[in-house]
Amino acid sequence: MAKVLMKGNEAMALAAIKGGCDAFFGYPITPQNELPEYLSKHMKENGRVFVQAESEVAAINMVYGAGGSGARVLTSSSSPGIALKQEGISYLAGSEVPCVIINVMRGGPGLGGIQPAQSDYMQITRGGGNGDYHTLAFAPENLQETVDIIKESFTLADEYRNPVMIAADGLLGQMMEPVDLERSSNVKEAPLKPWAATGESGKRGHRNKIVSLFLDPNDLEDHNLKLQKKYNRMIDEQQRFEMIHTEDAEIVFVAYGSMARIARSAIETLREKGIKVGMIRPISIWPFPEKAFENLPKSVHTLLTLEMSLGQMIEDVKIVNQGRYKLDFFGRTGGVVPEPEEIVEKVLAMKEGAN
């Protein structure tokens, strides 16, 4: 299949359709508006559901309802809108309702700005909702990877009966790149969902209830232990990452999404200067890819975390590092997209400081 030139937000929307999305519920916010705009036309054409809700809170609860009835459901928003959805995400996770949530991140806190950022790492990986819950979260670096992951994420949501978050940013949403929408990806037909509330209690002989309320503490603990088993299975099965030039590296970058892509240019420049740098690129940010840090070569002495925030993922790097390597950080925030040259200068300054 030939590649087509598409805008990121539209490619994400089409990928959702290809991934088997039955219904979309959302509320507009820049910089992701082309995503619902595209779906508002194409979901209907494909005989599926599109609803522009009256608010983000309404949208995520519509996701809860439609997901609870067994449909493959999507919502998308940008940072402050995702913040509004946190309560619903906790309920979805607590009652094990699968869904896909796309966050096209912009600068914060509060309303912040509309330019690209990665300052929702904590919101995505720790969750703003209450309770012991986790969502699978993937952070692609270009449009092809974004499309492939979104297609697959509906299948993963069904397999784990859990929300899946896509951590994109304004750059990925607004840019155009050639993408192959048909490239093979782990997309499976929606499975039978015997747990779903489909209004067939009479025929089924019992009522399916979608709840996250357990008033008996022992029941709630059992429920949490069951969820925890599932999260541990995700940690085992879903750590995804790419190792880039780590084989002889002295300084290893840790960067995801757009920042990783910018870092690739810095690696090229630094390697031309004979400075041995490499990168661990987390593709899953929850679970954090701890396995990537297990067999780094002896040459490594420093991990340099790079983020379009003032340092959020670095906390995961600290946890996995266990004091083994020196840690350093470079970040820009508020919607400022750093130039590769800034990373090069940071590394040169680190070398200088070490000598």
Residues that bind another protein (CB under 8 A): 3-5, 30-31, 113-115, 170-171, 174-178, 258, 261-262, 264-266, 268, 337, 339-341
Q: What's the min distance (Å) between Cβ of 6 and another protein? A: 10
Q: What's the min distance (Å) between Cβ of 5 and another protein? A: 4
Rg (CA), the chain: 21
Nearer to another protein, 51 or 179 (CB): 179
Nearer to another protein, 5 or 213 (CB): 5
Sign of CA dihedral 129, 117, 325, 294: positive
Q: What's the min distance (Å) between Cβ of 9 and another protein? A: 11
Nearer to another protein, 261 or 276 (CB): 261
Residues 74 and 181: their CA atoms lie apart, in Å, by 18
Q: What's the min distance (Å) between Cβ of 282 and another protein? A: 17
Residues 350 and 304: their CA atoms lie apart, in Å, by 10
Count Cβ neighbours within 10 Å for each residue of 3-15 and write b for 16 or more, e otherwise. Answer: eeebbbbbbbbbb
Query: Among 282, 243, 245, 258, which Cα is nearest to 331's?
Result: 258
What is the phi/psi pair of residue 259, to 5°? -65, -35
Q: What's the min distance (Å) between Cβ of 185 and another protein? A: 20
Nearer to another protein, 243 or 337 (CB): 337
Size of the chain in residues: 355
Which residue matches tokens 């449909």? 71
Nearer to another protein, 163 or 335 (CB): 335
Per the CB < 8 A criterion, the answer to whether 20 and 46 are in contact is no
Residues 327 and 347: their CA atoms lie apart, in Å, by 12
Nearer to another protein, 31 or 94 (CB): 31
Alpha helices in the chain (DSSP H): 8-18, 34-45, 56-68, 79-84, 86-94, 121-125, 143-160, 170-174, 201-204, 217-237, 257-272, 314-321, 340-354
Nearer to another protein, 48 or 281 (CB): 281
Between the alpha carbon of residue 73 and those of residues 66, 80, 166, the distances in Å are: 7, 21, 14
CA 10 from centre of chain: 17
Nearer to another protein, 61 or 118 (CB): 118
Q: What's the min distance (Å) between Cβ of 53 and another protein? A: 24
Q: What's the min distance (Å) between Cβ of 242 and another protein? A: 13
Q: What's the min distance (Å) between Cβ of 343 and another protein? A: 9
Residue 20 falls in which region: left (phi positive, over 0), alpha (psi -120 to 50) or beta: left
| Cβ atoms within 10 Å of 220's Cβ, excluding its own | 15
Residues 191 and 152: their CA atoms lie apart, in Å, by 14
The DSSP symbol for 348 reads H
Nearer to another protein, 99 or 263 (CB): 263
Q: What's the min distance (Å) between Cβ of 276 and another protein? A: 18
